[in-house]
C-alpha cells in the first residue's frame, strides 16, 4: 500500500492515543466484554507507535533527528508498517507521509499548533471526523506543578472542533479540560449527565437538558463515569 493513500480515508470516529495516565481507560474500554464503542481508526503519537495497534502514527518531530538521537526509535520508524504522518519525508523511512500543513492552516485560519496531539486534532477537524476519543492526552497531573504547554493548545483546538461539529470524548481520569473533576448527576428522563463543578459555588446549580434545575446526585469519587461502566465520560 502506498502510505499516502491514508490521507484519502475519512473515518467518522477516531481514537487518539497519547502516553498520559488516562491511556489506561482505553485498555479498560477495549477489554470490557460489553464495550459498545467502535472506532473507525486508531491513531497514536510518538512512542505510542511501539505500544498500540494503530492505523496512523503521528510524529511531528524531525524523523532524521529523532533517529540520530534515539537509534532504537529510528529502527522502529524505518521498519514501521503503518503510515507515519510527519512534517518532512525522508527516503529512509518508507512509511512516512507529509503532513498537509498548507491545507490545515487554511482551514483553521490559525497557526496555534504546538504539539503532535494538536496537529492530529486539527487534521481530524479538517477532514470531517465526527467524534474523537482522546486517551492519554492529559498534559499535566494533579498535585504536580509543571504542566506541558501543549495542553492549552489542545484545549483550544477541541473548542474549535466542537464549533465545527466534531464532538470529543475524554476519560474521566484525564486532566484535559478538568475531566477528572467531573461528576455524574441525574439528567432528563432518568439519564445520567456529566457536569463539572462551577467555580465559586458550594452547591452546584446544574440543569437537565430540558432546563429543569436539579441538585447534584453524586458528589463523590470522580472515577464514576457516564453511562455503562465501559464508556468514558463524554466531557466534550
Q: Which of 41-55, 110-124, 134-148 has the lowest mean pLDDT?
A: 134-148
How far does the chain reach from its first CA to its final CA, in angstroms? 35
Please tell me the predicted confidence (pLDDT) of residue 213.
53
Same domain, 121 and 169: yes
- Whole-model pTM: value is 0.80
Please tell me the predicted confidence (pLDDT) of residue 217.
43
Q: Is the pLDDT of residue 232 over 70?
A: no
34 domain residue, yes or no: yes
Residues 6+ apart with CB under 8 A from 158: 121, 168, 176, 177, 236
Q: What is the CATH number of the domain that holds 45?
A: 3.90.1480.10
Instruction: Show which of 178, 200, 219 is a domain's final residue.
Output: 178
Same domain, 152 and 191: no
233 domain residue, yes or no: no
Q: Is the pLDDT of residue 231 over 70?
A: no
Higher pLDDT, 157 or 221: 157
Residue 136, domain extent: 3-178
236: cell is: 466534550
Average pLDDT over residues 63-74: 95
133 domain residue, yes or no: yes
163 domain residue, yes or no: yes
Same domain, 42 and 150: yes
Same domain, 14 and 45: yes
Average pLDDT over residues 60-78: 95
Please tell me the predicted confidence (pLDDT) of residue 187.
67
174 domain residue, yes or no: yes
Please tell me the predicted confidence (pLDDT) of residue 27.
83
Count up the domains in the chain and report the number: 2
222 domain residue, yes or no: yes
Average pLDDT over residues 121-125: 97
Q: Is the pLDDT of residue 179 over 50?
A: yes
Residues 6+ apart with CB under 8 A from 83: 3, 4, 6, 55, 56, 57, 95, 96, 97
Higher pLDDT, 153 or 31: 153
Same domain, 122 and 135: yes
Q: Is the pLDDT of residue 209 over 90?
A: no
Same domain, 20 and 94: yes
Average pLDDT over residues 106-114: 94
Mean pLDDT taken over the chain: 82
Q: What is the CA radius of gyration of the chain?
A: 19
CA-CA distance, 16 to 170, in Å (whole number)?
A: 10
Same domain, 167 and 188: no
Same domain, 110 and 150: yes
The band of 36, judged by pLDDT with boundaries at 50, 70 and 90, is low
Same domain, 212 and 161: no
The band of 234, judged by pLDDT with boundaries at 50, 70 and 90, is low
Same domain, 207 and 96: no
Amino acid at each position: 500500500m502506498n502510505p499516502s493513500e491514508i490521507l484519502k480515508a475519512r473515518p467518522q470516529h477516531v481514537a487518539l492515543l497519547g502516553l498520559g495516565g488516562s491511556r489506561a481507560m482505553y485498555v479498560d474500554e477495549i477489554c470490557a466484554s460489553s464495550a459498545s464503542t467502535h472506532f473507525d481508526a486508531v491513531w497514536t503519537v510518538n512512542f505510542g507507535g511501539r505500544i498500540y495497534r494503530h492505523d496512523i502514527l503521528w510524529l511531528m518531530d524531525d524523523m532524521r533527528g529523532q533517529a540520530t538521537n534515539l537509534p532504537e526509535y529510528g529502527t522502529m520508524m524505518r521498519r514501521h508498517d503503518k503510515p507515519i504522518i510527519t512534517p518532512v519525508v525522508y527516503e529512509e523511512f518508507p512509511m512516512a507521509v507529509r503532513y498537509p500543513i498548507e491545507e490545515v492552516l487554511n482551514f483553521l485560519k490559525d497557526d496555534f499548533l504546538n504539539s503532535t496531539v494538536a496537529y492530529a486534532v486539527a487534521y481530524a477537524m479538517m477532514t470531517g471526523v465526527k467524534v474523537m476519543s482522546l486517551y492519554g492526552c492529559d498534559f499535566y497531573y494533579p498535585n504536580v506543578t509543571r504542566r506541558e504547554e501543549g495542553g492549552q493548545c489542545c484545549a483550544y483546538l477541541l473548542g474549535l472542533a466542537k464549533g465545527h461539529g466534531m464532538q470529543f470524548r475524554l476519560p474521566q481520569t484525564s486532566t484535559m479540560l478538568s475531566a477528572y473533576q467531573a461528576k455524574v448527576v441525574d439528567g432528563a428522563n432518568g439519564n445520567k449527565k456529566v457536569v463539572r463543578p462551577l467555580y465559586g459555588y458550594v452547591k452546584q446549580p446544574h440543569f437537565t437538558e430540558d432546563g429543569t434545575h436539579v441538585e447534584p446526585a453524586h458528589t463523590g469519587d470522580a472515577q464514576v463515569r457516564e453511562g455503562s461502566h465501559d464508556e468514558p465520560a463524554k466531557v466534550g
